[in-house]
Chain A
Amino acid sequence: MMEKIKSDFTTITLVLISVAIVINIVVGNIVQVVLKLPIYIDSIGTVLVAVLAGPLPGAVTGALSNLIWGILFANPTIMPFAVTAFCIGLVTGWLASRQIFKNILWTMVGGIVTGVVAATVSAPIAAYLFGGVTGSGTDALVAFFQVTGANILQATLGQGLVSDPLDKTITFIVAGFILRGMSQRYLSRFPRASNVIRS
């Protein structure tokens, strides 16, 4: 088992992870400033790594992106969500091995599934650590759900299910286009190139 894990983390995978973390942060930042919507697209890098190198490298990319973002922008409150980012990497990696990135419709389905997983994992974290709020506009949704009778956990989950699947689907589609733009020669250097290359 350790051997398999080690073989997933080749030197080129490590370089890829580090670059992907930076992509996550830079793109995530641009999107926040430009679109000002509950769409983050801060996991493009995570998705790319999960597809090219497997679930565990993808998971590591997600978790570390979260932690490093927290360090660099002096905001420890996003760090607990590294768990969510970790799970996003795992799920994406698994879905990629089911070849979903070879077909745009399946890619979208995969995005929705991943979004649901992300919302489900985030809900307890947001509910029990932060009282269900994030300090952004989506908190109104949480209020709405609570008014209709949900408890905090349910309300947070509801809010997540509204925004996360959309965000992840868009992320998956963009990732799909990027992967399609890479040459066979380039892709073949990565451990899980078979997730993308049509043979």
Chain B
Amino acid sequence: MIQLDRVTYTYPHAKLPSLYDISLKISESSFLAVVGPNGSGKSTLCALVAGFIPHHFHGTLQGQVIIDGRDTAATPLSKLVTPQVGFVFQNPFNQLSGAKLTVREEIAFGLENLGVPRSEMSQRVDRVLELFGLTELVHRSPYELSGGEMQRVALASVFVMEPRVLVLDEPTAQLDPWGTRQVFEAIRTLVQNKRVTVIMIEDKSEWIAAFADRLIALHEGRLVLDGSPRTVLTSSHLDEIGVGVSRYTQAARSTQSAGGWPRDLELPATLDQAVAGFKRARKFYEHLG
């Protein structure tokens, strides 16, 4: 459904490519998480899927990005991004259009731009408000909200346009733990309710492991790891490329040599996985007496 074919991209005025020979196939309704150290090309990858590259950023693009059979380089941005691909950025503040005075109008902004008739607009907005638990905030000014609330509004504003793909570029990076939780709960709602393909850059491994079907890791513009979240997140290669492993993995790893972790079991990435594994190991030892 989304296909990258040997994509190499260099930003204008840059000396080296930001992405090098990336080939990737993303299937419909899957949830792909992307990890990697700073500068590894994650945001560039997202910008490619959204069509911002090459339409907004120019630069040199080799290879093809195909979404639903359409080459992004050949399709105009206004036909590409919003009907197909929704994009959520890191900075909640910058995503507010600034042109609307209430949360309700802000969410409707995208639909207004698409020329959706008023009655349909109203219904869609109300549905999304409820889905994301924003009904109490309808009449507030978007600028008066907390970071987490702003980001939920941004998510809602994009989601109301019913994109087939949703790209999230570190949506919780600038939020406090409470805001982070709010956003991830909203994403969970989204994933449970709708058939949408999600691509998310996120370094909070516990959350990724809970949601994602698939995880890829980038390093210096190349695709280095690709697999299930648990496999990738516990891979020893992660340290090499400069991505930290979660504390659950660390805990299991440090006890592994002493036999604290079952030898046949994959290292854990989440709390639940860790608890299950440690319980099994303990049973083994209790068994031994």
> Chain A contacts of B56 at CB under 8 A?
189
Complex alpha-carbon distance, A188 and B58, angstroms: 10
**Minimal beta-carbon separation of A9 from chain B (angstroms):** 15
Q: Is the interface of A mostly helix, strand, loop or mixed?
A: helix
Q: Is the CB of A185 within 8 A of B98?
A: no
Beta-carbon contacts under 8 Å, B1-29 to A: 11-14
In contact, A188 and B98 (Cβ under 8 angstroms): no
Q: Is the CB of A184 within 8 A of B98?
A: no
Residue total for A at the interface (Cβ-Cβ under 8 A): 5
- Name the residue on A nearest B57 (C-beta): A189
Identity of the chain A residue whose Cβ is nearest the Cβ of B58 in the assembled complex? A188
Q: Which chain A residue lies CB-closest to B98?
A: A18
Size of chain B's interface in residues, with CB distance under 8 A? 7
Report A73-89 CB contacts with B as 1/0, cut-off 8 Å: 00000000000000000
- Report the bound CA distance from A68 to B12 in whole Å: 37
Which residues A116-147 have CB closer than 8 A to chain B?
A: none
- Complex CA gap A18/B14 in Å reads 29
Set of chain A residues within 8 Å of B58, measured between Cβ atoms: 188
CA distance A89 to B70 in the complex (A): 41
List residues of A (160-188) whose CB comes within 8 Å of B's CBs: 184-185, 188
Residue of B11, B13, B14, B98 ringed by the most chain A CB atoms within 10 A: B13
Among residues of B, the one whose C-beta sits closest to the C-beta of A184 is B13
Task: Show the binding face of B for A, using Cβ within 8 Å.
Answer: 11-14, 56, 58, 98
Give A residues with C-beta under 8 Å from B: 18, 184-185, 188-189
9 smallest CB-CB distances across A and B, nearest first, come from A184-B13, A185-B13, A188-B12, A188-B13, A185-B12, A185-B11, A18-B98, A188-B58, A189-B56
Interface pairs (10), CB distance under 8 Å: A18-B98, A184-B13, A185-B11, A185-B12, A185-B13, A185-B14, A188-B12, A188-B13, A188-B58, A189-B56
Known: A18-B98, A188-B13, A188-B58. 7 other contacts (CB 8 A): A184-B13, A185-B11, A185-B12, A185-B13, A185-B14, A188-B12, A189-B56
